[in-house]
Structure 1
Amino acid sequence: MKRNLLFLERVLLGDGTEPFHGVYALKINGVIDHAELVGALARLQEKYVMLRTAIGIDTLGRPYFHTPPTPPAIPLRIVERTGDEDWNRETVHELGTSFDITKGPLFRITWIRSAEVSDLIMAFHHCMCDGGSGVALLSDLLALLDDPQAEIGKAPAFQSIRDLVPAEILDNGRNRFKAKFSAALVNLGLSLGSLFISTKKKPAPRSADYLVNWKLGVEQSKALFSHCKQEGVTVNTAIGLALMEAFKAVNGAGAHGKATCPVDIRRYMPEVKRNMLFSYGLALNISLQQSIGAGFWEKAKLLQAHVSKQMAKLNPYEFTMIMEASHGSVHKLRRFLTYAKVGNDFMFSNMGKLDIPVQYRNVTVETIYSPTVIGPFANPNTIITTTFNGQMDFSFVSNQEFLPRDTAMQIREKAMEILFETVAIPHSMRL
């Protein structure tokens, strides 16, 4: 395999030295066999060509994925388990530890082991893989640990933009002109914006990154789902609003009242298959100005109306064509994202229910922690939630120098207080 990185893959890669990773962590009850785990990783590499790739730079300075003649095996690091919080420490370690992109692979596993309980930490470079792709990898890994001979098939991989955008759209003259014109406007905006950006202040050290994780009980989760359905508001919108209000309540004038919400591109672009490793999605922007009302759920309904309008306008093909016409702006965009003044409070993603079994023949998946992702950009605040075995799980990553951990904890408590103020569950079960 050999292909150039797409524009947004290049944005996520940067110069390859700064870590920009996604990490999944899960807790398993039962015995994991070392040889079977190594074999499972080899089977994953057989299925997914992207797990055998490294990144090179061509004569024009443009990065490309390629498969080395003898791809290295997926690294497996083993840590002896001492307690239930080891996974948090090792997750933060994986978020801040760079891959050797020139050799590959851009994927690795940490096994926190003990005789009867293990934690698995799965890390991948974001330029290769997103959270949705991570679910497919996790599902296959567990299937192979359950049965080393399990049939997991071969995963598709795309070779160019032509595999993603239908020819009738990609080759349409009007569409191509619009993409180039939009890309020129992006470049102009970034060029003008860079005049007001100072690079003197260095990004916060990655050693100051942290992870705050919490769960809702089964009854809490069920009550929230039911109440959102009753109000005609998605869980994503309700949580996003509660988080924005919590940032405002805790940070006061320092809050922006805005957030970015990634949208899984697979919902809009059927060419990106569920088991295809893909790195980026679409995005929505939400703000408190879109939700002015008397009570929380009234505001949530107004915000939902804005969100629905934005989602109806999402066009993955046009978006991809504009991005692919913008390669000349990649370094300007990286500079803007890294050094420009922060304009929103956080990124929030609700990935929904994880379609992964709890019980296998030899092991039980006690919990899957929501994935985490953090990069070198100006605003590291990222909150991701998933639902597994009936429980919503939240991961909140940031950097101590940008947002003190104590402040993040206050925001967490305030957001849950706001969210559950009118949801009918026993008071004793609230966070």
Structure 2
Amino acid sequence: MQNPQINPNIAPRQTPDLIRPLGSTEHLFWLIDRNRSIHFTLVAEIDRVLTRSAWNAALLALQQRHPLLCARIVADGVAAPAFQRDPAARIPLRVVENVQQAWQVEAAVELSGPFDWSNAPLLRVTLLQHASGSTIVLAAHHAVLDGMGGAYLLEDLLRALAGGSLAPLPVAPPLESLLRTQMDSAAVSGPPAPAPEAKAFRPAVGARAEVAALALSAQLTQAIAERARIERTTVHGAVAAAVHEAGRRISRTWRERPVRTVSPIDVRATVGGMGRANGVYITQTITVDERPRGAPFWDAARDVKAQLAPAQTLASVAQEIKALDGFITTNPSIEHAAGFLSHVLAFDVLLSNLGREPIASSYDGFTLNALWGPIVSSGFADDQVIGVCTLGGVLRLTQASYNALPGLLDEVQTVLGEAVAV
């Protein structure tokens, strides 16, 4: 299906249920998702079992708080695509009782099942019930939510389950609207340089996602954080360096060329103005590691930090969003958007990090024991998507891929253990 040639400068037709037009980043994710699905999942484990009615009530409270959770995307070929409210839409809840299999199986199922963007809501939840607690698998279309927003959403859901009230939030504007003043004065960057080699996409049908997960020990987690400070880098830089080294140990292809990693950067604190509302408030930056297998680990970790640092400034965010806004105003087709992803970004690794203690662990009546993800795919045939989250002093890793490097997370753990031991 071809993308209609939409003129973003035409105001959307006003309807009572119109929420707002998609922003440029949301628009790009909408297009890319139509090439190959790129929705994501987050997984939360709590130590309590609640009734289905309690979950449904909490999900309804969540929708009443966040306007985009009742939205579909509409595109009529004339105006820019927009979020449109469906007041009758309810977040689907699938409950699996007495679950025997690991949550990774259900997360892979959710990752393999695309969203229909023309139907609301663009969020669904699977609940795995077992004797000692519940596991929540939240799946979201990437045009309506990013990973950190998904974490905040889970926190709101848990607060509602614990009996707390959720005040309705206003519709937050898209990222470029919040940056308009800075974008007006930002330098116009030239066209992005293509990657040395384009990336192939996975088959349009028949491909199955694979999901793996690994929790480091609290002792190793603490050792990584402390050593990263001493080495003047970050935990993110250390994990990236470990993924690169582990991949080179496993894959001959990775040993023969530079490894390209994209790191989504949450810009909520940098830009401000969106609070915890739904939307896509990230930029994405490529780092390139040309080191051979066995290169000095902490040099590699410092280099990742150095490559990411310029992209984390407000001026850089404004410049990047201005360039993306310019691209979207050309009315790109699905094929153009996919070509940008394949020929310009063309990454081997997507390293998405929710950071340290991103949401609360303790609620009235239960505890959040673990938060996993983000679990996502770019659409490439061989990408390795690594989700990182540290909660309760434990760093947790996920790996999502349609062609996974076998044993990658175990090898990452080995590399990190070696790095803090010397």
Matched, 1:307 2:305: no
Tell me which residue corresponds to 1:272.
274
Correspondence for 1:7 among 24, 32, 51? 24
Correspondence for 2:369 among 361, 366, 370? 366
1:126–1:326 CA distance, 2 compared to 1 (3 A): same
Q: Secondary structure at the match of 1:74?
A: coil
Cα distance in structure 2, aligned partners of 1:5 and 1:155: 18
Q: How does 1:146-185 map to 2 (within 5 A)?
A: 146-147=162-163, 150-159=164-173, 163-167=177-181, 169-170=182-183, 172=184, 175=186, 179=188, 182=190, 185=191
Tell me which residue corresponds to 1:389.
392
- Please, what TM-score do these two structures have when normalized by structure 1? 0.82
Structure 2 unaligned blocks of 5 or more: 1-17
Q: How does 1:25-424 map to 2 (within 5 A)?
A: 25-60=43-78, 62-68=80-86, 70-83=87-100, 85=102, 87-147=103-163, 150-159=164-173, 163-167=177-181, 169-170=182-183, 172=184, 175=186, 179=188, 182=190, 185=191, 203=203, 205=205, 207-255=207-255, 256-273=258-275, 275-289=276-290, 295-312=296-313, 315-327=316-328, 328=330, 330-331=332-333, 332-336=335-339, 340=343, 343-399=346-402, 403=403, 405=404, 407-409=405-407, 411-424=408-421
Cα distance in structure 2, aligned partners of 1:136 and 1:19: 23
Question: Structure 1 residue 285: deviation in Å?
Answer: 2.2
Structure having the higher helix fraction is 1
Question: Structure 1 residue 42: deviation in Å?
Answer: 0.7
CA contact (8 A) 1:203 1:377 kept: no
CA contact (8 A) 1:29 1:118 kept: yes
- Please, what TM-score do these two structures have when normalized by structure 2? 0.84
1:48–1:389 CA distance, 2 compared to 1 (3 A): same
Question: Structure 1 residue 319: deviation in Å?
Answer: 2.0
Cα distance in structure 1, aligned partners of 2:400 and 2:261: 15
Question: Structure 1 residue 329: deviation in Å?
Answer: 5.4
Question: Structure 1 residue 359: deviation in Å?
Answer: 3.5
Matched pairs, number: 399
Tell me which residue corresponds to 1:19.
37
Cα distance in structure 2, aligned partners of 1:114 and 1:294: 45
Cα distance in structure 1, aligned partners of 2:253 and 2:114: 36
Structure 1 unaligned blocks of 5 or more: 426-431
Q: Secondary structure at the match of 2:420?
A: coil
Cα distance in structure 2, aligned partners of 1:362 and 1:76: 22
Question: Structure 1 residue 344: deviation in Å?
Answer: 3.2
Q: Secondary structure at the match of 1:127?
A: coil
1:29–1:340 CA distance, 2 compared to 1 (3 A): same
Q: Secondary structure at the match of 2:363?
A: coil
Question: Structure 1 residue 320: deviation in Å?
Answer: 1.9
What's the CA shift string for 1:207-253, capped at 9, x where partnerless? 42100100101111111111111211111111111111222222124
Counting aligned pairs with the same residue, the percent is: 22
Cα distance in structure 2, aligned partners of 1:261 and 1:227: 21
CA RMSD of aligned residues (A): 3.1
1:262–1:162 CA distance, 2 compared to 1 (3 A): closer
